[in-house]
Structure 1
Amino acid sequence: MHLSRGQKLSIRDLIPNGSVSITIDYYPTDIDIAAFSLDKDHKIKDDRYTILFSNRQSPDNSIALTLHEGKAIFTIDIDRLPTTIDRIIFTATHDIHAIGKARKLEVTVGQQAGTYNAKEDLTTEKAVMMIALYRHQNAWRIGTIGQGFNGGLAALITHFGGEIAAPPPPSSSPSPTSNPVPPRLNLNKITLEAKQSISLTKTAPTFGEIKINLNWSRGSSARRGFFGKISSNKAVDLDLGCLYVLKNGEKSVVQALGKSFGHFDRKPYIKLLGDDRTGDVNTGETILINGKFFDEIEKIAIFAYIYDGVPNWNETNGVVTLTVPEQPPLEVRMTQGNNNKTMCGIAVIDNHNGQMKVSRLVEYFRDHEEFAKSVNIFLRWVSARKN
């Protein structure tokens, strides 16, 4: 069933029994998807029930989120939800671009029981309320909304009675207040700026599955880009890779060149999942790091290189995202490219006594060897090809 904007119906007309599943398929993959649980006044009462990339399940597990590249799947046990939750609003936001320009933003209720194109009728909104799951006369209903805010995430949070968390200003002592403090939500990715570093501490016995993703624009008028078309004379084959040094002194490279794809369950515990030769793969290129064995890793230096095509970094719109479970994603944008060089050193991950220190580079080099020397990893290099 195709759902139109403003349509309302009983959730049990679509899903006769059991938990409710809401799936959002979206592109580009840097759109942020969230579910806001609100009280009868349509305000956030308990931010632990705000479900998104940094908080993927509620305390009682009545709401859970599974994330894949370009897909968010919410599972809601409506019979277990606290009575204080009157409705759940499912939203999409982007930091820069209008959501209406997204290539895809589709909501599916159940197993294709109902679908809604959430970007229809949007114009300049950077944040959109897509659908609502809400109580009505002791039953649950679903309603499509399709309305948003030009102000993006900040306007959305304010509308729900909350505010985005920010570091507190320095103060010798806390100032008392008689006003209730609105919920403070840490919803933002962390975008690393020039020479910035950040350290991540384990929130579990291990870091889990660490994901490094490169997404980029092909640089051809036939290429979709992030939110539009990019023109160039020749498509660029941009590849993701990394250098690594293990605690035992072993060091090498993981990349498509030379088919050095690595391994996830054995040394080096780093694996490149595939090679996107065109840039047309929606998920881009991904390296997985087995965080269970992070203590055996000394250093990882992440890079991207142009294997084929004229170097034109400004047209690639390259974005590398580092995702660690239960941590805010770290994003590095490949800006101010040097078009005379084919190698971009993106970031370095260091193991500092079990902590993960991520440092932004975004420096450009003529080849692998020059980059490796800049991060103090010395290897013997030979020429190689993909085929």
Structure 2
Amino acid sequence: MPINLSKGQKVDLTKGNASLKHIMVGLGWDVNAFDSGSDFDLDASAFMCGANGKCPTEKEFVFYGNLEHPSGAVKHQGDNLTGEGDGDDEQIFVDLKAIPESVDKIAFTVTIYEAQERRQNFGQVSNAYIRIVDEDTNQELIRYDLGEDFSIETAIVVGELYRHNGEWKFNAIGSGFQGGLAALCGHYGIQVA
């Protein structure tokens, strides 16, 4: 039975579950019955941050344009351009044992591609969620449904995996940003052209 989190709630992942090594982070969403004239292309990303909350280099930004961290610890399964169908729309696999010591936190985000040009925002998206699955047992451990709290935002920090006393925990963040992916990159110390 997965733990259903609410915004701001934190939960232990590895404490009491020492066998947990490989997790799948699934992100999903539906688009409301609203036609902006374009498909909604939502993109999941992972920012691998040091103790200062910033990515040391662009390699620690894992997204549709950089599908795998050099360590192999974080692998994005690729871009879903429409979000149609049931289940996860995008998935990111994490090998907890392979995460470099210099990484204290991995933030999982969702942005809307070309949101400004397409006049789209998260107020037009529903049923957004993040879930964490033990990849080895296929058991869903955590689920966080974001609810419908967003109106004008074009980027969301959904949640973060973070190291605490040598164990991994998960924090349900659910905070929105305006300015899409560029705003998130700036927040996590990545320079964008």
TM-score (norm 2): 0.78
TM alignment of 1:60-209, pairs within 5 A:
60-67=71-78, 69=80, 70=83, 71-94=89-112, 95-96=114-115, 97-110=120-133, 111-165=139-193
The answer on whether the counterparts of 2:26 and 2:130 sit within 8 Å (CA) in structure 1 is yes
3-state SS of paired residue (1:54): coil
1:8 maps to 2:10 = yes
The answer on whether the counterparts of 2:126 and 2:148 sit within 8 Å (CA) in structure 1 is no
TM-score (norm 1): 0.40
3-state SS of paired residue (1:121): coil
Measured against aligned partners, the alpha-carbon deviations of 1:46-97 in whole angstroms (never above 9, x if no partner) come to 2212111111111121111113643211111111111111100000111322
1:25 corresponds in structure 2 to: 28
Measured against aligned partners, the alpha-carbon deviations of 1:319-367 in whole angstroms (never above 9, x if no partner) come to xxxxxxxxxxxxxxxxxxxxxxxxxxxxxxxxxxxxxxxxxxxxxxxxx
Whole-Å separation in 1 of the counterparts to 2:123 and 2:50:
28
Whole-Å separation in 2 of the counterparts to 1:14 and 1:25:
28
Whole-Å separation in 1 of the counterparts to 2:122 and 2:106:
20
Whole-Å separation in 1 of the counterparts to 2:146 and 2:16:
18
Measured against aligned partners, the alpha-carbon deviations of 1:216-243 in whole angstroms (never above 9, x if no partner) come to xxxxxxxxxxxxxxxxxxxxxxxxxxxx
- Whichever residue aligns with residue 4 of structure 1, its letter is S
TM alignment of 1:37-56, pairs within 5 A:
37-56=48-67
2:69 corresponds in structure 1 to: 58
The answer on whether the counterparts of 1:14 and 1:109 sit within 8 Å (CA) in structure 2 is no
Structure 1 unaligned regions, length at least 5: 166-387
Whole-Å separation in 1 of the counterparts to 2:66 and 2:55:
15
Whole-Å separation in 2 of the counterparts to 1:78 and 1:100:
33
Whole-Å separation in 1 of the counterparts to 2:47 and 2:9:
20
Question: What is the CA-CA distance between 1:158 and the residue it aligns to?
Answer: 1.2
Whole-Å separation in 2 of the counterparts to 1:38 and 1:157:
12
Whole-Å separation in 2 of the counterparts to 1:98 and 1:65:
23
Whole-Å separation in 1 of the counterparts to 2:7 and 2:16:
17
Whole-Å separation in 1 of the counterparts to 2:5 and 2:184:
23
% same residue: 27
3-state SS of paired residue (2:77): strand
Structure 2 unaligned regions, length at least 5: 32-39, 84-88, 134-138
Whole-Å separation in 2 of the counterparts to 1:91 and 1:57:
16
3-state SS of paired residue (1:156): helix
* TM superposition outliers: structure 1 runs of 4+ over 4 Å: 13-16
Whole-Å separation in 2 of the counterparts to 1:38 and 1:156:
13
3-state SS of paired residue (2:51): coil
Question: What is the CA-CA distance between 1:18 and the residue it aligns to?
Answer: 2.0
- How many residue pairs are counted as aligned between the two chains? 165
Whole-Å separation in 2 of the counterparts to 1:138 and 1:120:
34
Whole-Å separation in 1 of the counterparts to 2:107 and 2:47:
5
Whole-Å separation in 2 of the counterparts to 1:19 and 1:159:
27
- Whichever residue aligns with residue 160 of structure 1, its letter is Y
Larger RCO (CA within 8 A; separation ≥ 6): 2
- Whichever residue aligns with residue 91 of structure 1, its letter is T
Seen in structure 2, the aligned counterparts of structure 1 residues 31 and 88 have a Cα distance that, compared at 3 Å, is same
The answer on whether the counterparts of 1:119 and 1:146 sit within 8 Å (CA) in structure 2 is no
Structure of greater Rg: 1
The answer on whether the counterparts of 1:37 and 1:85 sit within 8 Å (CA) in structure 2 is yes
Question: What is the CA-CA distance between 1:123 and the residue it aligns to?
Answer: 2.9
Question: What is the CA-CA distance between 1:8 and the residue it aligns to?
Answer: 0.3
